[in-house]
């Protein structure tokens, strides 16, 4: 069951909405059950400006990873260590393997860079928050000017 849900999640919210509409057309309790599941699981509430962006990013990364793994499994069926069949030209095959290995290394380095960047941003936001909080505890700040009556 979770595999089916994961596959529908790969297509995103439009797939869930289409499935719900089809459920209502076929037999209304099925559509109602799908709607209840969507609300209960939070699949209809987790985006937009009120949603948790970090959770959305993590779910998008998980979906991307699942798609990549599924693609690799399909390519494995074609043969070869990375889903690639030998071309018959050993020099090209070695070049291709080296290029793919280098690209994978660069992708891993980029992922770690993004993680460090997110961590630095989070640290800066936290430091700003703590600085602001300490400033509020140090004493009352300047009082805001009172509004002037308009005549």
Give the whole-angstrom CA distance, residue 63 versus residue 11: 9
Sign of CA dihedral 43, 45, 50, 52: negative
Q: Give Cβ neighbours of residue 45 (< 8 Å, ≥ 6 apart).
A: 39, 51
**Which tokens hold the place of 90?**
């050993």
Instruction: Give me the pLDDT at residue 72, please.
Output: 82
Instruction: Give me the pLDDT at residue 16, please.
Output: 85
Count CB atoms within 10 A of the CB of residue 16: 20
Give the whole-angstrom CA distance, residue 59 versus residue 43: 11
* One pLDDT digit (tens) per residue for the chain, 151 residues: 677 887 887 777 888 889 889 999 998 889 899 888 888 877 776 544 445 667 777 888 888 888 888 888 887 776 655 556 777 888 998 898 899 999 999 999 999 999 999 999 999 999 999 999 898 887 665 565 666 666 5
Instruction: Give me the pLDDT at residue 8, please.
Output: 82
């Amino acid at each position: 069951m979770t595999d089916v849900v994961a596959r529908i999640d790969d297509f995103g919210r439009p797939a869930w909405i289409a499935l719900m509409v089809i459920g209502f057309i076929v037999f209304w309790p099925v559509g109602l059950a799908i709607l209840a599941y969507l609300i209960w699981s939070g699949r209809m509430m987790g985006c937009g400006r009120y949603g948790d962006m970090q959770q959305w990013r993590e779910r998008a990364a998980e979906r991307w990873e699942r798609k990549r793994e599924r693609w690799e499994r399909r390519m494995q069926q074609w043969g070869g260590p990375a889903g690639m069949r030998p071309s018959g030209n050993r020099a090209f095959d070695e070049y291709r393997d080296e290029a793919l290995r280098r690209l994978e290394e660069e992708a891993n380095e980029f992922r770690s860079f993004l993680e460090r960047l997110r961590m630095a941003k989070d640290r800066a936001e936290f430091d700003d928050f703590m600085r602001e909080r300490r400033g509020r505890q140090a004493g009352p700040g300047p009082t805001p000017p009172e509004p002037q009556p308009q005549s």
